[in-house]
């Protein structure tokens, strides 16, 4: 008779696994549709998994999950997305100028010209401060004037503007690629610039 001895062993392992969080977007009719704000930062959760592993002669032959326990629940990220349209509405018309309101409840602004333009976007990199060709600090201010790049032959530097979907702007910068009816709008982050992409908009030259 041949006797075969099989050495059987068992080990218990505890594994820690991250639980990803979800991002919830909430519309806010009080914010311009170009504005997105983080209301709550998301946090990754964690769970533990306890597993029994059986070995025969050092080789794994079975694996059984004994328990799974949520140590920390994930916290959803909450983002507020503005839905307020910023495209102007003509409320009066005169011989040499028109008047617009820039948003719901906004003050009327006179303009002298409308230029249909190709609008690209740029941003400062890695939080660095960007400066315009005129020496001014590049600024994105959804509640005020933002700095943009223009072709001075089309829009003189220093002009105050209103740009559909972007808001009030100040012509303070130029660029080698900004020729003709092209503008380059500034954003604080690369993600915002990518979100804008390239689009055609009406540019109102304010009086």
Number of domains in the chain: 2
Residues forming beta bridges with residue 111, ordered by sequence position: 98, 206
The per-residue pLDDT for range 33-47, each reduced to its tens digit, is: 667 888 999 999 999
Q: Is residue 3 part of a domain?
A: no
Q: Is residue 119 part of a domain?
A: yes
The model carries a pTM of 0.51
Together in a domain, 189 and 139? yes
Which of 31, 51, 80 finishes a domain?
80
Together in a domain, 90 and 181? yes
CATH code, 161: 2.40.40.10
Pairing of strands 182-187, 45-56: unpaired
Which of 60, 80, 100 finishes a domain?
80
Together in a domain, 32 and 125? no
Which of 38, 58, 80 finishes a domain?
80
Write down the pLDDT at residue 149: 92
Residue 143 has pLDDT above 90, yes or no: no
**Which residue from 134, 144, 122 is spatially nearest to 32, judged by alpha carbons?**
144
Long-range contacts of 24-30 (CB under 8 A, 24+ apart): 24/76, 24/77, 24/78, 24/79, 25/79, 25/80, 25/81, 26/78, 26/79, 26/80, 26/81, 27/80, 27/81, 27/82, 27/83, 28/80, 28/81, 28/82, 28/83, 29/82, 29/83, 29/84, 30/82, 30/84
Together in a domain, 196 and 118? yes
Write down the pLDDT at residue 82: 76
Write down the pLDDT at residue 107: 60
CATH code, 39: 2.20.230.10
Together in a domain, 74 and 101? no
Q: 48 is in which domain, residue-wise?
A: 8-80
Together in a domain, 68 and 122? no
The per-residue pLDDT for range 78-130, each reduced to its tens digit, is: 998 876 545 455 444 444 455 665 544 456 677 788 899 999 998 877 555 66
Q: Is residue 118 part of a domain?
A: yes
* Chain CA centroid to CA 161, Å: 23
Write down the pLDDT at residue 33: 66
Together in a domain, 75 and 101? no
Write down the pLDDT at residue 148: 92
Together in a domain, 98 and 24? no
Q: Mind giving me the DSSP string for 168-200?
A: EEEEEE--TT--SSEEEEEESSHHHHHHH-SEE
Together in a domain, 92 and 188? yes
Q: Is residue 159 part of a domain?
A: yes
Answer with the residue of higher pLDDT: 186 or 28.
Answer: 186
Together in a domain, 45 and 120? no
Together in a domain, 13 and 38? yes
Write down the pLDDT at residue 48: 95
């Amino acid at each position: 008779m041949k006797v075969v001895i099989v050495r059987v062993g068992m080990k218990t392992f505890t594994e820690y696994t991250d639980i990803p969080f979800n991002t919830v977007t909430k519309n806010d009719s009080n914010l311009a549709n170009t504005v997105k704000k983080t209301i709550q930062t998301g946090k990754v959760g964690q769970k533990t998994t306890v597993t029994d592993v059986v070995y025969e002669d050092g080789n794994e032959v079975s694996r059984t999950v004994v328990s799974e326990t949520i140590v920390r629940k994930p916290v959803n990220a909450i983002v507020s997305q503005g839905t307020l349209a910023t495209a102007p509405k003509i409320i009066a018309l005169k011989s040499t100028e028109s008047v617009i309101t820039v948003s719901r409840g906004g003050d009327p602004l006179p303009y002298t010209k409308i230029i249909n333009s190709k609008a690209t976007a740029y941003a400062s990199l890695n939080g660095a401060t960007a400066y315009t060709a005129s020496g001014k600090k590049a600024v994105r201010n959804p509640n005020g004037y933002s700095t943009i790049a223009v072709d001075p032959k089309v829009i003189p530097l220093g002009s105050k503007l209103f740009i559909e979907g972007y808001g009030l702007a100040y012509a303070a910068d130029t660029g080698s690629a900004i020729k003709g009816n092209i503008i380059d709008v500034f954003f604080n982050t690369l993600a915002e610039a990518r979100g804008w992409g390239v689009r055609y908009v009406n540019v109102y030259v304010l009086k």
